[in-house]
Amino acid sequence: MRRCGRPGSCPAHVLALLLSIALLLTGCRFPGSTPPLIKIGLVAPFEGQLRARGYEVLYAVKLAVRQWNEAGGVGGYKVELVALDDSGDPSKATQQVRELAVDRDVLGVVGHFTEETTLVAAPEYAVQGLALVAAGVGAEGITATGSVIRLGLPDRLLGREAARYAVQSLAAERLVVLRGQGDRSADDSRPSLADAFAAAARELGGTVVLDEAIAGVKWISRLADASPDLVFLSGDAMEGGRAIRLSRQAGVQATFLGGPALGDRALVQVGDAAVEGTVYLAMAPTGVDLAGAETFVADYQALAGHPPGSRATLAYEAANLLLEAVARAADGSSRRPTRAMVWHQLAGGFQHEGLLGNWSVGSDGEPLAWPVAVYRIEAGSYPGRRLR
């Protein structure tokens, strides 16, 4: 190859080749050129009965990505969001993980926002080497694969929180447990939400006078005969709204209490006036109930057209947690961040400070403490009024 001895003595194509090599080695870019790209994924139900839940979290994750890009990106990389729909259907959940995994630019995922889809999909994230930040699901076992971080309490702790609120705060003595579809635990070492509630309620001095699955209608007459102070519903908002409506028609006057799955716009849509006064635990406060979250609320409302609910808060927190892990993986490294580097930032335990304050996750992927909120449906509106 001809050597360049003085300025202007090199052919143009040689100069171009040398400059290209220098740019590759140094990671430099021409002024105004497009920054390198990394991606995060979102899997949620954008179709079907739970589509409102999917779009609630979509706007929150979009907002987080937009804010990082406006601030200069993540470790010098522009962020792009890849959102896929699993329709809340477990049979689709694993396939969507595989779809994301094909794109090597996807470094982590936020999802899936239902118990069933998250449980089914969790092992596939380990297979694909992708980190999943699972927001707001209590199902036991989702972090066991070693590739999942949970934002929220597992069912064994959430059930205890619900029982404590029922017995101590609401002074309920006669308790009924109505189990949603699939809530009977087949493994005693991993109790369902209903199992955890019933066990804790008894320990706290309450009496469980009836424990029934709400498939069919036979439970209605048994519930009316039990004369409970409080009915705990472990199902989702669709099941819960229907069960509460049927219970009120049968003359049941008890307070209804449920977990995070009950807290959904569908509760009011299905149950109508019958769900007035229903209490549910949420994995996070809504944006308007968070101190110092005014900017988040305003920006979310401008994007979505309505205020952020509890799941929007969780999705925003999850997206920021994931993007911070990517930023740490990229910081000071001449290498492009990889999935393994991102998971390394999440594994082994960490502290995070965000909308929900300062909280920690242990080496098992489970939070060491979590700020559960309590809401009551009032004036026929969701999410209702925060009680705690």
The two tokens of residue 154 are 């597992």
CA distance 78 to 107: 13
At 26 the pLDDT is 37
In sign, the C-alpha dihedral spanning 57, 127, 40, 81 is: negative
Both 163 and 273 in a single domain? yes
Asked whether the beta carbons of 293 and 38 are under 8 A apart, the reply is no
Task: Please give the helix or strand (H or E) that residue 347 lies within, else none.
Answer: none
For residue 7, is it within any domain? no
Check whether residue 115 and residue 212 sit in a common domain. Answer: no
Range of the domain at 85: 37-153+288-370
Which CATH number covers residue 124?
A: 3.40.50.2300
CB count within 10 Å of CB 154 equals 22
**H-run or E-run covering 201:** helix 193-203
Give the total number of structural domains in the chain: 2
165 lies in some domain: yes
Three-state DSSP at 78 gives: strand
Residue 297 makes CB contacts below 8 A (sequence gap 6+) with 287, 288, 290, 307, 308
pLDDT at residue number 369: 86
pTM, rounded to two decimals? 0.88
pLDDT for 31: 46
The answer to the question of residue 270 being in a domain is yes
Residue 60: count other Cβ atoms within 10 Å of its Cβ. 31
In a domain, 16, yes or no: no
Whether 326 contacts 40, CB under 8 Å: yes
DSSP one-letter code for 261 = G
pLDDT at 28: 41
Residue 248 placed within a domain:
yes
Q: Which one of 257, 282, 307 terminates a domain?
A: 282
Are the beta carbons of 367 and 361 closer than 8 angstroms? yes
Token digits of residue 329: 């993986």
Query: CB–CB of 311/266 below 8 Å?
Result: no
Do residues 88 and 202 both lie within one domain?
Answer: no
Which of 37, 36, 38, 35 lies closest to 322, judged by CA? 38
Per-residue pLDDT of the chain (388 residues; tens, 9 = 90+): 333 443 344 454 443 443 343 333 333 444 455 679 999 999 999 999 899 999 999 999 999 999 999 999 998 899 999 999 999 999 999 999 999 999 999 999 999 999 999 999 999 999 999 999 999 999 999 999 899 999 999 999 999 999 999 999 999 999 999 999 867 554 445 679 999 999 999 999 999 999 999 988 899 999 999 999 999 999 999 999 999 999 999 999 999 999 999 999 899 999 999 999 999 999 999 999 999 999 999 999 999 999 999 999 999 999 999 999 999 999 867 789 999 999 999 998 999 999 999 999 999 999 998 989 999 999 999 999 999 9
Do 90 and 162 reside in the same domain of the chain? Answer: no
- In 3D, which of 130, 192, 92 has the Cα closest to residue 338? 130
Q: How high is the pLDDT of residue 191?
A: 77
Q: What is the dihedral of CA 20, 23, 28, 32, to 10 degrees?
A: 0
59 and 137 share one domain: yes
